[in-house]
Amino acid sequence: MRATVDGNEAAASVAFRLNEVCCIYPITPSSPMAELADEWASHGRTNVWGTVPAVVEMQSEGGAAGALHGALQSGALATTFTASQGLLLMIPNMYKIAGELTPAVLHVAARSLAAQGLSIFGDHSDVMAVRQTGFALLASASVQEAHDLALVAQAATLRTRVPFVHFFDGFRTSHELNTIELLSDDDLRALVPEELVQAHRSRALSPERPFIRGTAQNPDVYFQARETVNPFYARVPGVVEETMARLAQRTGRRYRIVDYTGHPEAERVLVVMGSGGETVKETVAWLNARGERVGVVQVRLYRPFPAQALADALPPTVRHVAVLDRTKEPGSVGEPLFLDTVAALTESFSDGERAVMPRIVAGRYGLSSKEFTPGMVAGVFAELTGERPRRRFTIGITDDVSGTSLDCDATVDIEPPETVRAIFFGLGSDGTVGANKNTIKILGDEGLHAQGYFVYDSKKSGSQTVSHLRFGPQPIHAPYLVRQASFIGCHQFALLDRVDVLGAAADGATLLLNCPRPADEVWEALSRPTQEQILAKHIDVYTIDAGRIAREVGLAGRTNIVLQTCFFALSGVMPREQAIERIKTAVTKTYGRRGAEVVERNQAAVDSALDGLHRVEVPDRATATREPPAVVPAYASEFVRTVTAQMLAGRGDDLPVSALPVDGTYPSGTAAYEKRNISELVAVWDSDICIQCGNCSFVCPHSVIRSRYYDQANLKGAPDGFRSAPLDAVGLPDTRYTLQVYVEDCTGCELCVQACPVVAPGSAGRKAINLAAREPLVATERENIAFFETLPESDRSRVDFGTVRGTQFLEPLFEFSGACAGCGETPYLKLLSQLFGDRLMVANATGCSSIYGGNLPTTPWTTDADGRGPAWSNSLFEDNAEFGLGFRLAADRHTELARRRVGELREQIGPELVDEILAAPQLRESELRTQRERVNELRRRLDKLDGPTVADLQSVVDHLVRRSVWIVGGDGWAYDIGSAGLDHVLASGRNVNVLVLDTEVYSNTGGQMSKSTPLGAVAKFAAAGKTVPKKDLALQAIAYGSVYVARVAMGADPQQTLSALREAEAYDGPSLVLAYSHCIAHGMEMRDGLDQQYRAVASGYWPLIRYDPMLRATGGNPFLLDSPRPRIPLADYTNRELRYRTLTNSDPAEAERLHGLAEQAVDQRWDVYEEMATRGAPHFAADARQDRG
Amino acid sequence: MNLATSYMGLALRNPLVASASPLSQTLDGVRRVAEAGVGAVVLFSLFEEQLRREAAENARLVDAGTESFAESLSYFPAAAEDEAGPRRYLSLLERAAAAVELPVIASLNGVTRGGWTDYARAMQDAGAAAIELNIYYLPGDPRISGRDVEQRHIDVLSRVKDAVSVPVAVKLSPYFSSTGELALRLDEAGADALVLFNRFLQPDIDPDKLAVEAQVGLSSQAEARLPRTWIALLHGRVHASLAATTGVETSADVAKYLLAGADVVMTTSALLRHGPEHATVLIDGLSEWMARKGFSAVDDVRGLLAVPSDQDEAAYERAGYVSAMRKANSGIYQPW
């Protein structure tokens, strides 16, 4: 049976059907395999032997590997799905599983490892890091292979007892949709007979026939015991080959552990593994058809390395071999596949099996999903033609530092003409990708072969998508982006000015524009370069106002179906009537489960689409004078202009090695240069009725609302439209107040409007800040912002840090992030940056906050006018608390060193200054500012001194101003993968501050359950509703007695949030702040986020508390219950979120039961808290550090 | 005291029926009402249009943020995408029907042809003892004629009657040019009961907040006069059972409806105001009143003060309706 699926589904479909236990943990790009398994299990789908596999989410990949090991030792068929850092966390168990000869298959969507930067994209860095564990490694090169070899791996592991890693390229294969032939259950059973399963079970631990496995061994036997397994490994290549042959018998699809394709008398051959092999194979055929003699060796079984098979595969005529590795091993003689190939051929040659030893060179390609194209393959073959090809090279980049890179011809096009290629530019929110996925399925169902691959932006709001589609009568083996498209869909008109939409348009291509203008005005609206491209490439242009049609049928913003219909009509892939009918069928199929209303609206969109489609008359010459706007402003730093701007314009691939920092260090504050204009509606201030409370600015997730107060004399020279009002404060006459909205950065999330307490007199609901159309405002607001930035900044020492109103005057040093519009996390980070930014160090766990906080091209953490600002870094997901503790340990040592050196230099520096510095309190902002001035003075004096002590002091002198160390992360980190580390750091007694941005799911990887997920909520891996209550991390931390603990919710009580962050920071010990963060994964209107926070607190679900050990030390009750008793039913909070409603819909009885239990839990916890709030100090744990005296 | 009542052929232990209200939105609520002693329970209404809107809304929320960022191409398990449909309602109905001894009547407000019949059938399958059609129809289009609206009622009833075998009641609005004629037509079309009357959910306006308040006001005793008058007029003129609803606060109100000719008396507001246990108070009060007045069976009470259907002038006079009307017309009542 044929189906159109992606690589993850292809692999998971087999893995699920051949296992009893799936121990999983979410990690990109493998998460969908686990999610599918969970979904199938929740629907009661069985494996081929009638068992519904248990799908268990663990706290980390380390945990998943442990559970996997246990399940295997107990006789279950067990698997896991992972990638990258996750695979690394499994390494200890992998040695154990292999050492005990335990059959199992790990399915890996191969991905880069975090080095100078994290990357979620594909290469072989992770799988190469486990090649030494004793696992066999089997590589799939395509979606079909990911399906077939998943079976081969499972059969072979049971037959050989050697465990397997079955891997395929992350994203390129894991996320590529392609048409494949499915394996039936009978196919699976035929290759994995039950005897093998029973043999596995017979080796399991059992008290009925006890033995001991997992002994500690001594020098006398460990070595020999290690050698016992050799025969098992020796059998693997043969067994895999044989299994592949049996698969071929059943399916006709023939794979070999090492496959040679090409000229039988080839002179030049590439050795390659993974999806790149497909590209090489196709290019080899194309080159040979043009008279060359080239070939390719595709390695499928990589461990145990089939040296003999490789040597045998290579024709004796070969003189030049290039081995391509998709990984980098700095400092090595060469990358692993190269070294293995050299060893195999050398041995073959020295044993006399080969007459001629070919010259072997090594190349790296495709790191982090870097494109690997036929042009590059041709480039490598060209290099091999030379007398002395480069021994080590890279392909696909320009390495102007070490000179490793080969040239290649980007115009090489080997694709058969009957393959139709199309590219669609859209936004994530307009549904372009979803529609294209549907298109592929429609075409697949029509008997065509179809392929789809989707490229996403690095932002979570307003993100761009590019869909690459191919279809035709032949199977499609082209694992690279479409480079010559006959159809271009530009679903967002503004993208024409931002990215090179027509760069990949073939001559005579069709361009479909979604444009709100009438057809006869479209041409004039294009920029000059776009017009020129259209003319040069003879592009046929069509336009439609899909936005209007979508609105009219009740699908505002979702233009996908309208544009999909136009694509079918214009591309002529099938007759119009037939296409419309097929789209409608697909709509019913895709949206049927969502109800009649959704289906009807989408059907209506199909029906209305073609009426609005018009051809654009293209004149014979370019008429526009308009150039696209500059990517970044001219005043940006050189790095931003030459490097960041290239990335922003989608030309990052062209950046040479020399352009990039050597150690992953990038300048702060680059998000400010990227004016994204992603929202049609933006916030507008009404200066007349504003009460200057600062609420809007406080809650703004994107820091686009800024306030300053200033002497009115500063208004001289203000632009006409610049707004200000008298400052609403006593004792400051002649002082004006301005609230400036950065409209080009505003996401239109509306939280500010919701937070505004003012209602305009004479109106029904108009606030002092409202949303209005952006377009007419941009030009004037640009001028206003420029003027606003010239106004003097509010003096920090005069701002009341203790009030929400005061904080609006503190400059945010976290701005314009790419987080979701209305994000519930970022307001807390912004507040941190406002309060402590100039001495803030942030250790950020991997997750949403590390992505919107640190994903290139531009980043939001920025600097103040003095160049100071948060120092931010991300280590890993699991180690963040420890990473941050390291910041503290270093700071403490260096503070101590600085104080010692200052003391030693007392006389030279001046005793008075030194004494002041050493005795200075540094709690209040005014104290910190004074200390800063003293340290500045100290610096000046040190500049005039010299000697080793002076130099030493200069290197640490900054530490005389107290640093604020914050450990930031989400609940996936704090409650799950980093839980042990967090616990340890909280128990350390050190002065670190932990901010948990609690969204109650793994938000960044798409909403998987964590131990923070509440009872009764539905999440991925808790599709039937979570049946265990959320962990009370606050009470755990309180138990130590030495930890400051707060639970806050900005939307419920901003003042309490502010107090908690300040107290936590001031507390000389570990602090833990748990911050309610509403999230898109909750399934609610993001503009209602603050209201939901209020409801969470008012229902008693999220009681606001503070626990301050300092109060206990002075005899007071350290436990403060800051929110009033529950005053709305829990349902008034939960019913507003899809995560709770889903269960009410899918299993109403269970939802009622869990809701009842959740209500009880709220009451019980409230009772406990209330009791704690009335206890005397002696009833709480003592802080041993305080008691030291 | 014999309170046994027949309603649409269903045998009820007494004539008090708990009508659709928030109390019947949970199994626990239904249980409490049943334990308080009512004769039957009508579940809250299933609104097809609301389900459709909810499904569209959920679909939008499921889609939010998807296919935008490579790590999080979706945020919910596939199950969240599924249309809730009537599952929640049917599950409650099924559990309620199994949990209590008395008849549980489902209430349906459809919009589409298929919606009315499919949901009605599903309700029957889930254990509904009868189905009450809550034809709550506010034409947004002022050009729709009164006759069309009436015909719509007849059509819906006929279709549902064809689709199910359990009894079907129609809950009516009082706002027809000739409510009586429509009642007769519905009777002819096979309605097993007429429930008089539906109350429009008319939102209020809060002048302080400058906002429309969607709250539903509870009914008051005075509102009982309209349905009572119609019941008195229709008693004996239709085959369908007559259910009275609106304004039942005390056992006297129950007695009044019975005297006017209601087969059953429904109450919502009183149970919401005083708790479901108030049903016991109403039933006990009815028994006490009957004892005091010398009635031994509720059937003896029913219709005693209805407008007689035999056109007997004297009886008409006796019932006091005509004289009441005359008094009204002679200016003794000054409504304005």
How much is the pTM? 0.94
User: A655-713 pLDDT, tens per residue?
Assistant: 999 999 999 999 999 999 999 999 999 999 999 999 999 999 999 999 999 999 999 99
Of the given ranges (A916-930, A995-1009, B189-203, B308-322), which has the lowest mean pLDDT? B308-322
A851 touches chain B (CB under 8 A): yes
CB atoms within 10 A of CB A207: 5
Closest chain B residue to A174, measured at CA:
B70
Query: Mapping DSSP to helix (H, G, I), strand (E, B) and coil, where does residue A105 land?
Result: strand
- Please, which pLDDT band fits residue B333 given cuts at 50, 70 and 90? very low
Interface A-B: count of C-beta contacts within 8 A: 174
pLDDT value at residue A596? 85
Beta-strand relationship, A449-456 and A464-472: antiparallel
Asked if A863 reaches chain B (Cβ–Cβ under 8 Å), the answer is no
Cα–Cα–Cα angle for A330, A334, A336, rounded to 5 degrees: 95
Average pLDDT, chain B: 87
A1089 CB neighbours in chain B (<8 A) are: none
Return the HEC string of A397-439.
Answer: CCCCCCCCECCCCCCCCCCCCCCEEEEEEEEHHHCHHHHHHHH
Report the gap between the CA of A289 and the closest CA in chain B (Å): 38
Tokens 């032949």 belong to A474
**Catalytically active residues of A, by annotation:** 28, 61, 111, 1004
How confident is the model at residue B21, as a pLDDT? Answer: 82
Cα angle A599, A605, A607; round to 5: 105
**The pLDDT value given to residue B137:** 65
Burial A819-832 (b: 16+ CB within 10 A, else e): bbbbbbbbbbbbbb
**Contact residues, chain B, for A1139 at CB < 8 Å:** 76, 80
Query: Minimal Cα distance from B73: which residue of A?
Result: A1006
> How confident is the model at residue A946, as a pLDDT?
94
Terminal C-alpha separation, chain B: 44
Angstrom distance (rounded) from CA A1117 to CA A1107: 9
What pairing do the DSSP bridges indicate for beta strands B241-244 and B264-267? parallel
CB-based contact A1149 B59, cutoff 8 Å = no
Q: What is the pLDDT of residue B319?
A: 53
Pairing mode of beta strands B211-213, A840-844: unpaired
**CB distance B67–A428 less than 8 Å?**
yes
Q: Please report the pLDDT score of residue B216 as a whole number.
A: 65
The whole-angstrom separation of Cα A1050 and Cα A1094 is: 8
Is pLDDT above 80 for B336? no
At A323, phi and psi to the nearest 5? -100, 125
Q: Is B65 close to A1139, i.e. CB distance below 8 A?
A: no
Dump strand ranges (E) for A637-767.
681-685, 705-711, 725-726, 735-741
pLDDT bucket at B314, cuts 50 / 70 / 90: low
Tell me, yes or no, if A1188 comes closer than 8 A to chain B by beta carbon: no
DSSP string, B221-254: GGGGHHHHHHHHHHTTT-SSEEEE-S---SHHHH
ipTM of this predicted structure: 0.93
Task: Give the whole-angstrom CA distance, residue A1154 versus residue A1024.
Answer: 11
> How far apart (Å, rounded) are the C-alpha atoms in residues A429 and A676?
15
Which of A1142, A1157, A1160 to substitute to test the interface with B, most B CBs within 10 Å? A1142
Query: What is the pLDDT at residue B335?
Result: 37
Contact between chains at B55 and A596 (C-beta distance less than 8 A) = yes
In order of A622, A641, A675, A776, B262, the CA distances from A527 in angstroms are: 9, 22, 19, 20, 77
Q: Which two tokens stand for residue A432?
A: 């372009």
Cross-chain Cβ contact A428/B69 below 8 Å: yes
pLDDT given at position B310: 64
Q: Pairing mode, if any, of strands A392-395 and A359-365?
A: parallel
The nearest CA of chain B is from the CA of A963 a distance in Å of 34
Q: Which residue of B has its CA nearest to A465?
A: B68
Instruction: Determine the pLDDT at residue A1185.
Output: 80
Q: Are A616 and A539 in contact (CB under 8 A)?
A: no
Q: Which residue of B has its CA nearest to A433?
A: B67
User: Alpha-carbon distance A882 to A874, whole Å?
Assistant: 12
Whether B223 has a pLDDT exceeding 90, the answer reads no
Coil/strand/helix, residue A385: helix
What is the C-alpha separation between A880 and A870, in angstroms, rounded?
17
Whole-angstrom distance, CA of residue A263 vs CA of residue A268: 9
**Which residues are paired to A871 by β-bridges?**
A841
Enumerate residues 8 to 27 of chain B having a beta carbon within 8 A of any beta carbon in chain A: 26-27
Q: Does A764 touch chain B (CB under 8 A)?
A: yes
Choose the mutation target among B53, B73, B89 for the interface with A, i.e. most A CBs under 10 Å.
Answer: B73
* Residues A144, A10 contacting (CB under 8 angstroms): yes
Q: CA nearest B210 in A: which residue?
A: A764
Q: Give the list of residues 6+ apart from residue A681 with CB closer than 8 angstroms, or none.
A: A748, A771, A772, A773, A774
Residue A310, token pair as written in the block = 């490789």
Nearest to A6 by CA among A436, A346, A330: A436
Question: Cβ B81–A594 below 8 Å, yes or no?
Answer: yes
Does the beta-carbon distance from B82 to A1005 stay under 8 Å? Answer: no
- Residues of chain A scoring pLDDT < 50: 1189
pLDDT of B81 strictly over 90 = no
Q: Is A333 on the interface with B (CB under 8 A)?
A: no
Q: Using a CB-CB distance cutoff of 8 angstroms, which residues of chain B are in contact with residue A32? A: 73
- Return the structure tokens found at B334: 């000054």
A1114-1135 residue pLDDT tens: 999 999 999 999 999 999 999 9
User: Measured between CB atoms, which of B52, B65, B82 is closest to A593?
Assistant: B82
Interchain contact, B51 vs A454, CB within 8 Å:
no
Predicted local distance difference test score (pLDDT) of residue B279: 94
Buried b (16+ CB within 10 A) or exposed e, A876-901: bbbbbbbbbbbbbeebeebbeebbeb
Q: How far is B221 from chain A (nearest CA, A)?
A: 30
Phi, psi (rounded to 5 degrees) for A423: -130, 140
Give how far A295 is from chain B: nearest CA, Å. 35
Encode burial over A53-66: b for 16+ CB neighbours within 10 A, e otherwise: bbbbbbbbbbbbbb
Q: Are A187 and A251 in contact (CB under 8 A)?
A: yes
Per-residue pLDDT, B311: 58
Say if residue B201's pLDDT is above 70. no
- Please report, as a single letter, which amino acid is at residue A714: N
Nearest to B68 among A28, A456, A759 (CB): A456
Looking at residue A729, its pLDDT comes to: 86
Q: Shortest Cα distance from A122 to chain B (angstroms)?
A: 12
CB contact under 8 A, B72 and A601: no
Cβ of A431 under 8 Å from any chain B Cβ?
A: yes
Residues 442-471 of A with CB under 8 A from B: 454, 456-461, 463, 465
Best probe of the B interface among A433, A589, A593, by most B CBs < 10 A, is A593
